[in-house]
Structure 1
Amino acid sequence: MVRSVLAEVEHVENEIERLLKQSTATQTGLLVGKVSVAYRDHVYALLPTPPSESTTNVVDTSGASKKGGKGEAPLQVDPEWIGEHTRQVSRMLPGGLAVLGIYAICSEAALKAAGAALWEALTATATSASPRIISQDAGAEWLLLHVSRQPRKCTCRSGPVGLPSASGFQSLRPCELKFGHNLNTLHCLQAVYRIDLRLPIRSGSSTLFVSSVEGAISSETTRLGAAECTVDGALTDSTQTVAALRTPSPEPEPDSQTAESLPTHQVHFFARPSWASEAGAKMGEELREKPGAVVGHVALSGAVHVRTYSHPKQTVGEALVDLKTDVARSLRARLELLVEEADRAEEESEHAATSAATSAPGEGASGAEKSQPRHALLEDAVRRFGEGMPRRVLVPWLEGVRLSEYLIGSESVAEAAERCKEMLGPSFASGSDLVEVERPAAPEKTAQQQSEPQKSTVLEGVRTGSSSVKGKQEAVCSQTTLAAAVGALAVTLLAVSLAYVSR
């Protein structure tokens, strides 16, 4: 069966025409959209590959371009950098949206010459992209869109990745490519999900703190998968289409910074307590099998704001699966960013130590022998640790769709906007106002405030000994309020803090 692809007229076809008229330069980039809705992939935007400072692993087809057409620049493909671009963009995508593949603007001759490199880039994209929600009939296939100047035409191919680069490119099959409008028909489903989970730390454990947090996220994702849901306050048939959902009656406020221009539905999750869920039972069995006394725990608790964008022909069940996927995607994205910051801080510390040893030869020997302390996230879960998790901001994108970006530490919204401009290219309008939906809460909260729903989210590690706890540090929670366009509903978004208590 031939795969069908529908690309947006406004943001794909018109963008291609603009690029072809603008210059003779070749280009590669990512395809972003929805996977297999009614047996058809939907491509919403082209995201050009950002410039890379490194020229390693770049494939140049200058020899082929001389044969392919007059004055066309050579096609350069950097599979590693394209994979990194995919990873960064995937973090920004809410539920329901995904990286579908790559595109190349070049001559036919340049395409054939770069076939092996393009296949490596497609494989890197598949490896780096967040897990996609794909129906059993669709299969895990990825797209390659080719735009040719001479003759001027667009062709699309698809195929599963994993084959050797020599034969992989030849295995791609032609797709039926059409252009149309449907991005503005999407529905937005959003929810606030309460998390309250604790995982024990056993004596003698050498597990890194970050691994313990990853285990907590995986366990909570499993519990969420079995949760029941209401949409706009009512139970719905999971087999009905999203188009059949009741359209919210309140009109968006024109001057509201977070007003939604797409139909927006509020979802509530009803999940079993951790101890009563299948995931909790499995966890209990694993704990009984592991030796060692419980000496502490990693806790994940609070409120997580999630959203997904669904096609009208999708079923409600599929939309809810996408929404649940966004919980795990957002939590893991924040943790990855925090670990990257820890790695960066460690590298800077090592560089500073090396520079100090070089500048002071007399003290260098003794200084070099002193091992620099590692970041707590990269250590075993044995020492006190506290650090704020990245905070979410909403990024205005296309036709009312909002993507996500994260503020790390004391970063400003302007810095996040610069990253968006680099990652999203022309699809991100310069000067767009990013909506900062998570703000640090007060340093101290009363017991009543902590018990209020949708107020804050805390990720903490606590280690105790046979005696009482000697020290405790709880990081400041982040608290957010999303002024929704539907009525006066206030939704608090995720902000996570890490805290660790040592003996």
Structure 2
Amino acid sequence: MVKVVVGEETQLKLAEDRLTQSALPSQVGLVIGKLSSSLERGFVFDLIPTPPNDDGKSACSVIESVRDDKKKGSKSKSLSESSSLFIDQDWVAEHARQVSRMLLGGMQVVGIYIWASESSFKNSTITLCQTVKGVAEVASVVKNDWDEGLLIHISYSPRRWTCRNCTLASNITSSSLRPCDFKMGRVLTSLQTFRCTYKFDLRLPIIHENVSNVRKLADILRFGISSHAKELESAKALIDGKLVTQDEQCASDGLHEVEFLLPFMQDTSLEACSRKDVIGVLVFRGSVCSFAYLNSKESISQALADMKGDIIMSLQCRLDILHDEAEREIESYGNDGEGASPDASTEKPILQMDLQLLRKTCSLSFPRRVFVPWLAGTYICDYLQPSETLEVLKDNCVELMSMEASIDESTILEPETEAPTSTTLATKSFWEMAVPFSSASVPDCSSLKNSRDDTCRGSHSESDKSVGFNIWAAVLGLILSVLVGLVLFVFRPS
């Protein structure tokens, strides 16, 4: 439970000045920061306003309602005391989902802020708690382990800041809000930076349709990423070349390089499959550049946990981006009417292909991760498709993160020269790809049909020819040695 919240004074003062100059009656936005359960503290880095929706309407507005009152002269008082807030909860949640993709390890969307009068805030606590809960549900990409979120109220009448902890229970009531101490200080300058280039090479089996219902490329990739997250969670780590053996704090400043050590030849996907059930293999390989930011009072283990979560989140976000694009592509087929056939594999997006029926090799490139300078030496990220340029990146930063449009391209980091790729080899045996130097790589002919039968017969016939040749060579060698022995015996000196 978070008891104390410390906000970055520089950024919060800028946000207050911006809100004051705007003269808006209300505004809602996201709180970017971090909640530390070990320290029982919350840290606020910045406040990001939610942009207008597709129709150009604000995500927050004040609703005025006049109550019946028989007393004269009480109409204006009733008008101010009965005002409440309307919040487009779905739009705020969508903003949180997209911003979460841009945040790195140790940074999260931890709640919302509201700029409103004291009376309208008090009349809208249930709505605000529901908005916090909706944000938490979409902002936790890796695993939904949140049980609280922050609600910061900036009141302009009277002018003051208050922070409340919102318990994310199933049934939200007025008691879900609990006050917590709020103060401003230096937060961003005390962060320590950790960086890792994580390389992975996964072999994901394509299971026979009689055994598994997981058929589409997107589903197999999502399952593979989730499985790999469990393996990465137990990985050891080297920080600046030294093995981390205990829960300690990082004493030195500057950039710290991290390398993860996975157990050798530990592949749960390989162990879970029998040879006869596998009809193909999906190769998923590449590298992920990851950053994590640690508060000086937190332990190193927290930075490693944040970085591991950032790696998995990055892979999931890229898959989500491709999935959203595939959905739009399918919708465009539907709008074309008779132009598209849903059963035509050539017209389907690759992510929607049924790999159990696939008889050809296909490859899919993931978006690459690009890093943009943010606040006090920290970075945020975005993902670019091969056809996209840095202009798309700039537009996203301006719209989603409320950054200035003048972003210097020379300060943008592009460490991922090659984006992660997935290659589907539906006609090769999983065991030939996963264990290429093992005797287990010989395919099981009884589990393969049609063209794969010919492959097995061909491989066995070649094996038989090789064995026969070796036998004849041994026989000829034996005969030759006997003849040489006889010649030496006959012509030996008397």
Q: By the TM > 0.5 criterion, same fold?
A: yes
Of 351, 358, 363, the residue aligned with 1:377 is 351
Q: Which of the numbers 310, 317, 322 marks the counterpart of 1:326?
A: 310
Displacement after TM superposition at 1:287 (Å) = 2.3
Q: How far apart are residue 223 of structure 1 and its match?
A: 1.4
Paired position in structure 2 for 1:182: 187
Look up the match of 1:145: 152
1:267-295 residue CA offsets vs partner (Å, 9 max, x unmatched) = 1111113x33xxx3x5455324xx95311
| Among candidates 427, 449, 463, match of residue 464 of structure 1 | 427
Deviations 1:230-274 (A, max 9, x none): 1111123432112x1x34xxxxxxxxxxxxxxx21111111113x
The 5-angstrom pairing of residues 244-263 of structure 1 reads 244=251, 246-247=252-253, 263=254
Which string of whole-angstrom CA distances, capped at 9 and with x for unpartnered residues, describes residues 14-62 of structure 1? 3213312331331000000121262210001001011102599977532
Gaps of 5+ in 2: 67-75, 429-447, 455-494
Could you tell me which of 242, 266, 270 is aligned with 2:261? 270
Mapped to 2, the partners of 1:469 and 1:312 lie a distance apart of 62
Deviation at 1:130, TM superposition (A): 2.2
Please show how residues 84-483 of structure 1 align to structure 2 within 5 Å. Answer: 84-131=94-141, 140-165=147-172, 167=173, 169-204=174-209, 205-206=212-213, 207-242=215-250, 244=251, 246-247=252-253, 263-273=254-264, 275-276=265-266, 280=267, 282-284=268-270, 286-288=272-274, 293-351=277-335, 353-354=336-337, 373-381=347-355, 382-383=357-358, 384-425=361-402, 428-434=403-409, 435-437=412-414, 457-464=420-427, 466=448, 467=451
User: What is the rounded CA distance, in whole Å, between the counterparts of 1:211 and 1:328 in structure 2?
Assistant: 16
- Could you tell me how far apart the structure 2 residues matched to 1:67 and 1:190 are? 56
- With over 3 angstroms needed to count, the CA separation of the structure-2 counterparts of 1:140 and 1:74, relative to structure 1, is closer
Runs of 4+ in structure 1 displaced over 6 angstroms? 55-59, 132-135
Larger Rg: 2
Summarize the Cα distance change of 1:39–1:326 in structure 2 as closer, same or farther, 3 Å threshold.
same
Work out the number of aligned pairs and report it.
413
The alignment status of 1:24 with 2:1, answered yes or no, reads no
Q: Could you say which residue in structure 2 is the equivalent of 1:8?
A: 8
C-alpha displacement at 1:337, in angstroms? 0.3
Task: Note if contact 1:393-1:405 (Cα within 8 Å) is conserved in structure 2.
Answer: yes
The question of whether the paired residues in 2 share the 8 Å contact of 1:155 and 1:177 is answered with: yes
- Cα offset for 1:408? 2.0
235 and 292 in structure 1: CA distance in 2 versus 1, 3 angstrom threshold: closer
1:114 offset after TM fit, Å? 2.7
2:27–2:61: 8 Å Cα contact kept in structure 1? no
In percent, how many aligned pairs have the same letter?
31
Q: Which ranges in structure 1 are unaligned for 5 or more consecutive residues?
A: 248-262, 358-366, 442-455, 471-503
**1-side partners of 2:58 and 2:378: how far apart?**
35
Q: Which has the higher helix share?
A: 2
Alpha carbons of 1:131 and 1:203: their partners in 2 closer, same or farther (altered >3 Å)?
closer
Q: CA RMSD in A?
A: 3.2
User: What per-residue deviation string (whole Å, max 9, x for no partner) do you get for residues 297-338 of structure 1?
Assistant: 112223221110111111111111111111101000100001
Q: What is the TM-score normalised by the length of structure 1?
A: 0.75
Match for residue 361 of structure 1?
none
Q: TM-score, normalised by structure 2?
A: 0.76
CA contact 2:105–2:306 (8 Å) conserved in 1: yes
Residue 44 in 1 paired to residue 37 in 2?
Answer: no
Post-superposition CA distance 1:103-132 (Å, at most 9, x none): 100012211333332222111101001258
Equivalent residue number for residue 461 of structure 2: none
Which of 77, 87, 98 is 1:77 aligned to? 87
Q: Distance in 1 between matches of 2:322 and 2:122?
A: 41
